Amino acid sequence: MRVRGLESADVKVVFHADDFGLTRAVNAGIVEAHERGLLGSTSLMVSADAAEDAAVLARSLPGLDVGIHVTLVEERPVLPPERIPSLVDGERFWPSHATVFARYASGRWRVDEATAEVAAQWDRLASLGVAASHWDGHQHLHLLPRLFPRLVPLARRRGASFVRTRLASAPGDGGSAVRRALCAGVNAVAASAWRRTQRAERHGTMRFPTVGFLEAGGRLDRDRLLATLDHLRARGADVVEVMLHPGRADAETERRYGHWHYRWDRDRELLLDARLAEALATRGMETTTFRDLARHVGRT
């Protein structure tokens, strides 16, 4: 899919870090990848423990494009739990996307409560002094079909038109069988969510392919990434998001999130890889951010 308003026929690449605000070590890795590497974009989890640290860092780095990482699983909510009883187990959200989806499918997870919580997360981001150019969702739960159409106008009122809606990869055997099945499932859910969204809202919402899901958590290497970008360019993509999870694996991060089995350092190292930067330049692929793309589209 082509992003309306872009005149260049070549692919522009947004290197993006999820989970800004998760822990201070993750924040530090994201900042390093931005200051010394290819990273231009990140999305902030406003209810995570290190969100305020992330906001301070974001305000000190005007070149870092920040979005919101809508969070409805595992972390703490912004709203008091008694305001959103179907979304929480005690003081925190339900612990896994599978649990959330099962409750959603059976009607035990209330979309109106989720909409209110996401609105509160936008308010929290504004109170931290951060304006978002784009949005996505922790474990992709922003794509739930009865929820997504409510979030699109909310995001647009906050000035964010770019949203993650399609996971992509190059042909071949990348990723485990489980990850490939999950990828197909997420894309099917996203397609349903998009069909449910009003045409006027769809017209003003910018979508793009996102790579990195099959190799999430430090499993994407330079050769695989370049092959994927070449494949997507051949299929006509003009904007591609590379979704990564850079960070530093300190004791706190491993204690709290070791069950994710992420290799935070590997994604950080990929973003610092000078050979990757050279290969992109050789291909004529330009790195950019959603904020810069929004400015370009806005001028057309």
**pLDDT tens, 151-183?**
999 999 999 999 999 999 877 767 788 999 999
**pLDDT tens, 67-88?**
999 999 999 999 999 999 999 9
Q: What is the pLDDT of residue 204?
A: 86
Q: What is the pLDDT of residue 106?
A: 97
Residue 53 forms part of a structural domain:
yes
81, 47 contact by CB (below 8 A): no
- Residue 135, strand partner residues: 68, 163
Residue 3 forms part of a structural domain:
no
Residue 2 forms part of a structural domain:
no
Residue 68 forms part of a structural domain:
yes
Residue 6 forms part of a structural domain:
no
Residue 158 forms part of a structural domain:
yes
The tokens 């790579």 sit on which residue? Answer: 211
Domain that holds residue 257: 12-298
Q: Give the pLDDT band of residue 4 (cuts 50, 70, 90).
A: very low
- Bridge-based pairing state of the strands 12-20 and 239-244: parallel
How many domains does the structure of the chain reveal? 1
Averaged confidence pLDDT in the chain: 94
Residue 131 forms part of a structural domain:
yes
Token pair listed for 253: 């991060």
Q: What is the CATH number of the domain that holds 130?
A: 3.20.20.370
Read off the pTM.
0.94
64, 134 contact by CB (below 8 A): no
Residue 83 forms part of a structural domain:
yes
CA nearest to 42, candidates 25, 19, 22 = 19
Query: Per-residue pLDDT averaged across 197-201, rounded?
Result: 93
SS3 assignment for the chain:
CCCCCCCCCCCEEEEEEEEECCCHHHHHHHHHHHHHCCCCEEEECCCCCCHHHHHHHHHHCCCCEEEEEECCCCCCCCCCHHHCHHHEECCEECCCHHHHHHHHHCCCCCHHHHHHHHHHHHHHHHHCCCCCCEEEEHHHHHHCCCCHHHHHHHHHHCCCCEECCEEECCCCCCCCHHHHHHHHHHHHHHHHHHHHCCHHHHHCCECCEEECCCCCCCCCCHHHHHHHHHHHHHCCCCEEEEEECCCCCCHHHHHHHHHHCCCHHHHHHHHCCHHHHHHHHHHCCEECCHHHHHHHHHCC
